[in-house]
Amino acid sequence: MRRLLIAALVLALAGCSARSATSSSDVPSKSAPGGSTAQGDFGTLKNVCHDGSPKAVTSQGVTTTDIKVGVFSDVGFTKNPEFVNAAKVFTSWCNDAGGINGRQLVPTTRDAKLFEGQQRMIEACREDFALVGGGTAFDGTAVKTRLKCLLPEFPAQSVQLAAFGADLSVQTLPAGVGQASYPGYYSWLIKEAYPDSAGHIGIISGDIPTTKVLANEAKELLPALGGKVTYTDLYPAAGVADWTPYAQTIKSKKLKGLIFNGDFASLAKLEQALTNTGYKLDWVDANNNAYGPAFIKLAGTALDTQTNFADLSGFSPLEQASGNPATKKVVDLFAKYAPGAQVTLPALRAFSAWLLFASAASDCAELTRKCVYDNTVKQKAWTGGGLQAPADLTSPTNPPTCFNVVKATSKGWTAADFKPDQGAYRCDEQPYKYKKSYGKPATLADVGKSMADLK
């Protein structure tokens, strides 16, 4: 997935400012097998979960009654249980519908607590059938361990370069390894929405490796689209006491567009400082980590002056849930199985990952890792039952083709006027392949393995 979503977790080492959410670190106990109380259809996906009579034990983590699945998270550090909650909601619904051909899904939270990914991966390698619907800030530290034990993953999001598009990892949006993540979004900003801003763009990033790479990628992409980056800067990951000097520099440079690669709490303070200096940017790319009520509350009335956007990467906005049956179903299932828990964009991504795994597993006459993995990479137009724009998952190098943009106001997030051409999405995104190398994902060959070893 597009790595920006977790950037704030890394930047928040000195004081986390995660999205507001109801705390819960416990996964559900399994439902009684065979007790189908809910139909296993989800949006356009039919019979995802259903009864059956499995007999053979086919793989690690699989019994005649259960499938043990790992869910990676940093909940012990961030106190943000969005991936844990998504696992609880999906598996409760699926198990109530009969499970995966009669087997109950048993999710286990693998809490990396930011720095313990390697330890949790060793545990997962001993116990889990697969990893589903999770994500950690330092996922690159454990990816080779995962590949050595041939453990497939279907993450909600990936962050570090080694994990982003790695072997045996299937994401529900095109990973686009070697491809720019946001060419359509930035092209719309500087060519259509605010053409006068094209020659006056700034980039501010947190002073950590992940966001530095994002800045370098943007500095290559924007000129290729006709833009010009005239200012770049870093800010300390520990935070900034006074954003006024940054605001004054932005004003003196006469910037019109700003890309912010960092945590939304810092962005809110910067925009308040900008507004206090009497300077208004044409646009701010707040990044989709800011998408949620917390940023709206923190930025406050500054959003009446500064115009903020975020690319949701082809996921239907939560604000339009009533008009999208798949998104509404997620909201309704959260209300039933995790009342009070907040539905977030990462939670939607996790739900799509769970649906991808469950659909692939349900289609296996004999439940093996190879069968599940092979079924997921056959998907040429995955939509998560309607949660997202169609995505071709057949190769990690496939570029994104659709995008959708939301705008932040002091009253909340709303859809931007970005001229969608396919429902809620715009799918005319022209790919851009980077000329420079910004790192590469880990492969089975790196650990002396190949796809022939997957059983």
Q: Are residues 281 and 344 in the same domain?
A: no
Give the C-alpha separation, 247 to 274, whole Å.
Answer: 5
* pLDDT band (50, 70, 90) for residue 369: very high
Residue 33 has pLDDT above 50, yes or no: no
* pLDDT band (50, 70, 90) for residue 238: confident
* pLDDT band (50, 70, 90) for residue 38: low
Q: Are residues 301 and 187 in the same domain?
A: yes
Average pLDDT over residues 134-147: 96
Give the C-alpha separation, 286 to 274, whole Å.
Answer: 14
Q: Are residues 296 and 407 in the same domain?
A: yes
Q: Are residues 113 and 203 in the same domain?
A: no
* pLDDT band (50, 70, 90) for residue 237: confident
% of the chain with per-residue pLDDT over 70: 92
Classify burial at 57, counting beta carbons within 10 Å of its beta carbon; exposed 0-12, middle 13-18, buried 19 or more.
exposed
Decide if 455 is inside a domain: no
Q: Are residues 135 and 252 in the same domain?
A: no
The C-alpha angle with vertex 332 and arms to 73 and 45, in degrees rounded to 5, equals: 80
Decide if 424 is inside a domain: no
Q: How many domains does the chain have?
A: 2
Residue 14 has pLDDT above 80, yes or no: no
Decide if 443 is inside a domain: no
Average pLDDT, the chain: 91
CB 353 within 8 A of CB 365: no
Decide if 421 is inside a domain: no
* pLDDT band (50, 70, 90) for residue 17: very low
Give the C-alpha separation, 315 to 317, whole Å.
Answer: 6
Decide if 453 is inside a domain: no
| More confident of the two residues 199 and 39 | 199
Q: Which of 309, 244, 305 is nearest to 277 (CA)?
A: 244
Q: In this structure, what CATH number is given to the domain that contains residue 12? A: 3.40.50.2300
Residue 139 has pLDDT above 80, yes or no: yes
Which DSSP symbol is given to 127?
A: H
Of 30-34, 241-245, 291-295, 319-323, which range is least confident?
30-34
Model confidence, pTM:
0.92
- Give the domain extent around 254: 183-312+402-415
Of the chain, the end-to-end C-alpha distance in Å amounts to 26
